Structure 1
Amino acid sequence: MWLVTVILGIACVYAGFVLLAALLQTKMLFPVQVAAANQPPLPPSAERLDVTTPDGDRLIGVRLGTSSQSKPCLLGFGGNAWNAAAVALYLHGLFPDREVIAFHYRGYPPSSGEPSARALLADSLTIFDHLQQERTRPLIAIGLSIGSGVASYLARHRPVNGLILVTPFDSLKALAKEHFAWAPTGLLLRHQMPVIDLVKDQRTPTAMIVAGRDTIVPARRSEPLRSVIPNLVLDRTIADAGHNDLYDHPAFVSAVREAVAQFEAASP
Structure 2
Amino acid sequence: MTGVIWTLIIALVLAYGVALAALYWLQGRLVYPVEQIQALRNSTLDAATEAITVTTDDGLDLIARFKPPRRESAPTVILFHGNGEDFTQRAHIVLELIDAGYGVLLAEYRGYAGNPGTPHEAGLYADARAVHAYAASRVKRIVLHGYSLGSGVATQLASTARIDALILEAPFTSIVDVAAKRYWLFPVRALARDRYDNLAKIASVDAPVLIYGGTRDRLIPPAHFQTLYDAARGDKQLALIEDADHLDAWTMG
Scaled by the length of structure 1, the TM-score of the pair is 0.87
SS across alignment from 1:148: helix
Seen in structure 2, the aligned counterparts of structure 1 residues 103 and 36 have a Cα distance that, compared at 3 Å, is farther
Residues in 2 aligned to 1:136 and 1:244: alpha-carbon distance in whole angstroms: 30
Scaled by the length of structure 2, the TM-score of the pair is 0.91
Answer yes or no: is 1:176 the counterpart of 2:183: no
Which residue pairs with 1:31 in the alignment?
Answer: 33
Amino acid at match of 1:104: E
Which residue pairs with 2:60 in the alignment?
Answer: 57
Q: Deviation of residue 40 (structure 1)?
A: 3.3
Equivalences, count: 249
Describe the superposition over 1:114-134 as per-residue Cα deviations: whole angstroms up to 9, x where unpaired: 00111111221121112223x
Which residue pairs with 1:21 in the alignment?
Answer: 23
Which residue pairs with 1:90 in the alignment?
Answer: 93
Describe the superposition over 1:160-185 as per-residue Cα deviations: whole angstroms up to 9, x where unpaired: 10000111111111111011111111
Answer yes or no: is 1:153 the counterpart of 2:156: yes
Which residue pairs with 1:263 in the alignment?
Answer: none
Residues in 2 aligned to 1:144 and 1:209: alpha-carbon distance in whole angstroms: 10
Which residue pairs with 1:255 in the alignment?
Answer: none
1:122-133 paired onto structure 2 within 5 Å: 122-133=126-137
Give unpaired runs (5+ residues) of structure 1. 253-268
* Alpha-carbon contact 1:207-1:234 (below 8 Å) kept: yes
Which residue pairs with 1:7 in the alignment?
Answer: 9
Amino acid at match of 1:16: V
Which residue pairs with 1:101 in the alignment?
Answer: 105
1:114 aligns with one of 118, 133, 141: 118
Residues in 1 aligned to 2:191 and 2:52: alpha-carbon distance in whole angstroms: 36
Residues in 2 aligned to 1:73 and 1:10: alpha-carbon distance in whole angstroms: 54
What is the RMSD of the two structures over their aligned residues, measured on CA atoms? 1.8
Amino acid at match of 2:109: Y
* Alpha-carbon contact 1:88-1:101 (below 8 Å) kept: no
Residues in 2 aligned to 1:53 and 1:203: alpha-carbon distance in whole angstroms: 25
Amino acid at match of 2:121: A
Identity of aligned residues (%): 26
Residues in 1 aligned to 2:139 and 2:42: alpha-carbon distance in whole angstroms: 29
Answer yes or no: is 1:242 the counterpart of 2:220: no
Amino acid at match of 2:17: A
Amino acid at match of 2:157: L
